[in-house]
Amino acid sequence: MTLPADLTLMTAAEARSLLDNREISSVELTRAYLERIEEVEPAIHSYLHVMTDVALTQASDADRRIEEGDIDLLTGVPIALKDILCTIDAPTTAASKILEGYVSPYDARVVARLRDQGAVFLGKTNTDEFAMGSSTENSAYGQTHNPWDTSRVPGGSSGGSAAAIAAREAPVSLGSDTGGSVRQPAGFCGIVGLKPTYGRVSRYGLLPFASSLDQIGPFARTVEDAAIVLRSIAGKDPMDSTSVPVEVPDYLANLRQDLNGVRIGFAPQYTVSGMEPGVEAAVKVAIKQLEDLGAEIVEVSLPHTEYALATYYITAPAEASANLARYDGVRYGNRVEGDNLIDTYLQTRGRGFGPEVKRRIMLGTHALSSGYYDAYYVKAQKVRTLIKQDFDVAFQSCDVIVAPTSPTIAFEAGSRTSDPYQMYLADIFTIPANMAGIPGISVPCGFSDGMPVGLQFLGRAFDESRLLGVAHAYEQAAGWYHKLPEIPAT
Whether residue 276 contacts residue 259, with contact meaning beta carbons closer than 8 Å, is answered with no
Whether residue 212 contacts residue 319, with contact meaning beta carbons closer than 8 Å, is answered with yes
Sheet with 296-299, side-by-side order of all strands: 47-50, 120-125, 78-82, 172-176, 216-220, 192-195, 440-448, 451-459, 400-404, 263-266, 296-299
Catalytic residues, by residue number, are 82, 157, 181
Question: At 192, is the secondary structure helix, strand, or coil?
Answer: strand
Rounded to whole angstroms, the Cα distance separating 118 from 26 reads 10
Give residue 3's pLDDT: 83
pLDDT tens profile 91-103: 999 999 999 999 9
Question: At 21, is the secondary structure helix, strand, or coil?
Answer: coil
Mark residue 58 as left, alpha or beta (left: phi above 0; alpha: psi -120 to 50; beta: remaining).
Answer: alpha
Give residue 344's pLDDT: 92
pLDDT tens profile 234-256: 999 999 999 999 999 999 999 99
Give residue 66's pLDDT: 98
Give residue 130's pLDDT: 98
Whether residue 407 contacts residue 274, with contact meaning beta carbons closer than 8 Å, is answered with yes
Q: Is the pLDDT of residue 2 over 80?
A: no
Whether residue 80 contacts residue 34, with contact meaning beta carbons closer than 8 Å, is answered with no
Q: Per-residue confidence at 1, pLDDT binned at 50, 70, 90?
A: low
Q: Is 260 exposed, middle or buried (0-12, 13-18, 19+ CB in 10 A)?
A: exposed
The mean per-residue pLDDT over the stretch 404-410 comes to 97
Q: Per-residue confidence at 274, pLDDT binned at 50, 70, 90?
A: confident
Give residue 28's pLDDT: 98
Looking at residue 152, the DSSP 8-state letter turns out to be: B
Give residue 490's pLDDT: 66
Rounded to whole angstroms, the Cα distance separating 114 from 229 reads 9
Neighbouring C-beta atoms of residue 414, cutoff 10 Å: 12
* Range in 175-184, 195-204, 361-370 with the lowest mean pLDDT: 361-370
Q: Is the pLDDT of residue 268 over 70?
A: yes
* Range in 16-25, 284-293, 327-336, 460-469 with the lowest mean pLDDT: 327-336
pLDDT tens profile 30-54: 999 999 999 999 999 999 999 999 9
78, containing H or E segment: strand 78-82
- Classify domain 7-256+475-482 at the CATH superfamily level: Amidase signature (AS) domain (3.90.1300.10)
Chain mean pLDDT for the chain: 96
Looking at residue 270, the DSSP 8-state letter turns out to be: G
The mean per-residue pLDDT over the stretch 185-189 comes to 98
Q: Is the pLDDT of residue 231 over 80?
A: yes
Q: Per-residue confidence at 5, pLDDT binned at 50, 70, 90?
A: confident
The mean per-residue pLDDT over the stretch 345-368 comes to 94
Q: Is the pLDDT of residue 489 over 80?
A: no
Q: Per-residue confidence at 407, pLDDT binned at 50, 70, 90?
A: very high
Q: Is 418 exposed, middle or buried (0-12, 13-18, 19+ CB in 10 A)?
A: exposed
Give residue 329's pLDDT: 87
The mean per-residue pLDDT over the stretch 70-83 comes to 98
Give residue 474's pLDDT: 98
The mean per-residue pLDDT over the stretch 482-488 comes to 92
Share of the chain above pLDDT 70, in %: 99
Give residue 436's pLDDT: 98
pLDDT tens profile 427-466: 999 999 999 999 999 999 999 999 999 999 999 999 999 9
Give residue 450's pLDDT: 97
Q: Per-residue confidence at 420, pLDDT binned at 50, 70, 90?
A: confident
